Amino acid sequence: MTPDNRIAICPGTYDPVTYGHLDVITRAAKMFEQLVVAVVNVPVRKGSTLFSTEERVGFLRDVSADIDNVQVEAFDTLVVDFARKRGALAIIKGLRSITDFGYEFEMNQLNRRQDPELESVYLMASPEYSFLSSSGVKELATFGADISDLVPEAVARRLQERLSR
């Protein structure tokens, strides 16, 4: 499938989706005609997930329902192969810190070896979300901290049910 400059994918584990993720998704959706939020089925780098693929896809569909050009799909292949299958021209990633940049730089180089036509587009985290990570949210939820300003309400509720001590 020939890449379409109007289609991008925004891959991630989203375990769980945070307002930082939603910020990047919302901003990226304004840049492309179609944005596919691609949920990694079985992440290699992070091991097992707290929420199932179906739960993560469901959370993302709920929180992005009002963004007309966003679709949410699970995938279990190389991100480059998924992008090719969807006809995407770009991979969208959010960057919070220099640590994120180092990892994403390596991934970009590997992806470009697989498909030189596939571009990586990086969106800097909005200042209010530059500290926010799914793992940090899970840790806070484990100890019963208020996470209502970090994740959507349904996600906060499920995290509290699953993790609170």
Domain boundaries, the chain: 4-127
pLDDT band, very low/low/confident/very high, at 33 (cuts 50, 70, 90): very high
pLDDT at 1 over 60: no
- Token readout for 137 is 């949210």
DSSP-assigned letter for residue 37: E
Neighbours of 110 (CB within 10 A): 12
pLDDT band, very low/low/confident/very high, at 163 (cuts 50, 70, 90): confident
91 in Cβ contact with 121 (< 8 Å): yes
pLDDT at 10 over 80: yes
Cis, bond preceding 116 (omega within 30 deg of 0)? no
pLDDT band, very low/low/confident/very high, at 165 (cuts 50, 70, 90): low
Mean pLDDT taken over the chain: 92
d(CA 142, CA 136): 10
Q: What's the pLDDT tens digit per position in 74-99?
A: 999 999 999 999 999 999 999 998 88
d(CA 57, CA 37): 9
CATH of domain 4-127: 3.40.50.620
DSSP-assigned letter for residue 144: T
Sequence letter at residue 70: V
pTM attached to this predicted model: 0.92
CA torsion through residues 28, 32, 33, 34, sign: negative
2 in Cβ contact with 87 (< 8 Å): yes
What is the pairing mode between strands 119-124 and 4-12?
A: unpaired
